[in-house]
Structures are given as structure tokens and as C-alpha cells.
Amino acid sequence: MLSAHEVLAVVLQIREGELSVLLWRRALPPCEGEWALPGGRLGADESLGASIRRQLAQKVDVRDLSHMEQLETRSDPGRHPQRRTLATAYLGLVPAHIDPVVPADTGWHPAADLPPMAFDHAAIVRSGRRRLRSKLSYTNVGFALAPPEFTMSELSAHYRAALGHDVAATNLRRVLLRRGQIEETGRSVPSGRSGGRPAALFRFRARELEVTDAFAVLRPPG
């Protein structure tokens, strides 16, 4: 019997200060009632990338991806209880200022505290988190998590949520400026009621993925 091939997406976004993943609840067996990654069967006449973008748009109405890349392929013969099914997973990122309208059977869940999940999808989510954390160290992929303009306090909160450890705004500013990832816009956020110096606004210099330091690692404070 020929193997089926499905495409899945680990769609991540920083929501309310937490790294969240988009999941949908299965309505039919197998794994009825459990949560799963969005995706579906690869069409006979489409590429992997075209297939996952089509299914994200059609099934969960997510079109505002700021970055997508192929994550991994899983081929364990027992990963699906009914038939041999290969799965190619993608990592997709949605910037924090976008709030996609998703169907009623779909919702955002903390990536670090997943609900009961179908098949091997929880392991695929963990792979997506590891890939994001790794790429934050040596690329400018932070652009895909942040809004077009941000203060360093806001950006450090996004990095903190994605990396899972504290990230000081002053240190992050120094590192990202040195790597040429971010630049000042020349604008600032007005001071609040408590006064103080207006916070400068920054932006990522490029809105496409670039390797900026191939040997860098953003480590937890220790």
C-alpha cells in the first residue's frame, strides 16, 4: 500500500507575553477530541510549501505569516494508527501585532503547556520551539515575531517568551545593533504619567531571514 503524505504547520505567535501555538480540535477518529496541528493531505499536483499555505488559509484562515520554513519530516510507520502516513512539518511565525480570526474549533495554546495532542504532534511542536530558539541566536528571525516598530522593552519581552529565559533590554539592544539586525527609527514613544525619558522606537533592518552571526548563542543568564 502506498504511503499517504500530509503537511502540518507549527504556527507560533507571542500572545499576551507567552509563546503560543495554533491548534485545532479533531472531530473524528482517530484521536477524536484531541488537539492537532493544522494541515492535511498533500495534493497530487502541489508542492509541500503550496499545500501548507493553502490549508492554513482554507482551514484556519491564517494568511498573515511573516516567516515560514520547512521543519522536519516524520516517517515512523506507527505514527498513525490506521495507515502509513508520512508528515512534513513547517514552522510558521505570526507577528505579535496581528490577531488572526480563527474558526471555533481552533485556538491558541501555550507552547510550553500543551493540551492532550493527537499522534506525534506534541513532539513536532517541541521541535518547532527548539528551531525558533536556535534561530533567534544566529539569525534576525525576531523580525517575524515583532511588530514593524517596537521599543527595546517590548522586543526583549518577545525574546523572553520565545527563549524561555530572561533577556535584558540593554544587552539585547547592544547585541542586535552590533549584528546589524535592528536600527533606530528616529521616533519615540511619549512618556507615561510617571514621566521619564521617552522610549526610542526601533525596527528590524530586514524583513527577510538573514544569518547575522553563524556562531552566536543567546544563553540564559547564569
Q: pLDDT digits over 123-176, tens only?
A: 999 999 999 999 999 999 999 999 999 999 999 999 999 999 999 999 999 999
86 HSE (CA, 13 A, CB side): 11
Whether the Cβ atoms of residue 72 and residue 90 lie closer than 8 Å to each other: no
* Percent of the chain with pLDDT strictly greater than 70: 93
Report domain extents, the chain.
Answer: 4-136, 139-204
What residues form DSSP beta bridges with 24?
36, 106
pLDDT of residue 189: 87
Architecture of domain 139-204: Orthogonal Bundle (1.10)
Residues contacting 186, CB < 8 A, separation 6+: none
Helical spans, DSSP H, in the chain: 48-59, 121-138, 152-163, 169-178
CA trace torsion 32, 33, 35, 36 (10° rounding): 20
Task: Say which CATH superfamily domain 4-136 falls into.
Answer: Nucleoside Triphosphate Pyrophosphohydrolase (3.90.79.10)
Sign of the dihedral through C-alpha 190, 196, 197, 203: negative
State pTM to two decimals: 0.92
What residues form DSSP beta bridges with 88?
7, 73
Confidence of residue 59 (pLDDT cuts 50, 70, 90): confident
